[in-house]
């Protein structure tokens, strides 16, 4: 606890919060070839590599990640969330912040349903996080044991209205 004389001499200082997603923190001006410190919520980028990574110790899986070159010329590793993806090299994606706890060095997520990365097919819950539309299910539901309705045959006259 500071004394009154210490408070009058130095005052209170704000605690500086560190931004962990440094790739989203700078902006590149191609005309002047200069970088500016500007915080962005998302950045657009081009996929340079799609690969799988193994998570840290207690977990075991093959997590899908992509190396993305952002519009500010920095290259980051971003996580592709959800089951299945159609992402390939040279695809354009939107990258947001948010680290993956069990993948080393992955501090970004790729936004599903934007640009070249489609939303998760057949997703029913948490659809907004995975870019899935309301009625877009994986396959139409068909009752088991019931034959499909056949198209009606034309009347005896042979003319259909």
Q: What mean pLDDT is predicted for residues 11-16?
A: 93
Predicted TM-score (pTM) of the model is 0.73
Q: Return the percentage of the chain with pLDDT > 70, whole number.
A: 84
Q: For residue 21, what are the contacts with CB-CB under 8 A and spacing of at least 6?
A: 97, 98, 107, 108
pLDDT computed for residue 67 by the predictor: 96
- The domain covering 15-129 belongs, at the CATH homologous superfamily level, to Nucleic acid-binding proteins (2.40.50.140)
Q: How far is residue 160's CA from residue 158's CA, in Å, rounded to a whole number?
A: 7
The residue extents of the domains of the chain are 15-129
Q: Which long-range contacts (CB under 8 A, 24 or more apart) does 119-128 make?
A: 119/82, 120/82, 120/83, 120/84, 121/84, 123/82
Q: Is the per-residue pLDDT at 83 higher than 60?
A: yes
59 confidence band (pLDDT: 50, 70, 90): very high
pLDDT computed for residue 135 by the predictor: 80
pLDDT computed for residue 43 by the predictor: 93
18 confidence band (pLDDT: 50, 70, 90): confident
Q: Is the per-residue pLDDT at 20 higher than 80?
A: yes
3 state SS of 27: strand
Q: Is the per-residue pLDDT at 138 higher than 60?
A: no
């Amino acid at each position: 606890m500071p004394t009154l004389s210490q408070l009058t001499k130095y005052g209170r200082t704000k605690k500086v919060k560190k931004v962990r997603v440094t790739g989203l923190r700078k902006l590149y001006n191609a005309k002047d070839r200069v970088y500016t410190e500007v915080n962005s919520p998302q950045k657009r980028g081009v996929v340079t590599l799609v690969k799988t990574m193994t998570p840290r110790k207690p977990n075991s899986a093959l997590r899908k990640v992509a190396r993305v070159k952002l519009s500010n010329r920095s290259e980051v590793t971003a996580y592709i969330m959800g089951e299945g993806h159609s992402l390939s090299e040279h695809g354009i994606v939107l990258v947001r912040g948010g680290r993956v706890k069990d993948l080393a060095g992955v501090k970004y997520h790729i936004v599903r349903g934007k640009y070249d990365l489609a939303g998760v097919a057949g997703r029913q819950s948490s659809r907004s996080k995975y870019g899935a539309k309301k009625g877009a299910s994986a396959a139409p539901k068909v009752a088991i044991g019931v034959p499909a309705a056949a198209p009606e045959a034309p009347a005896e006259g042979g003319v259909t209205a």
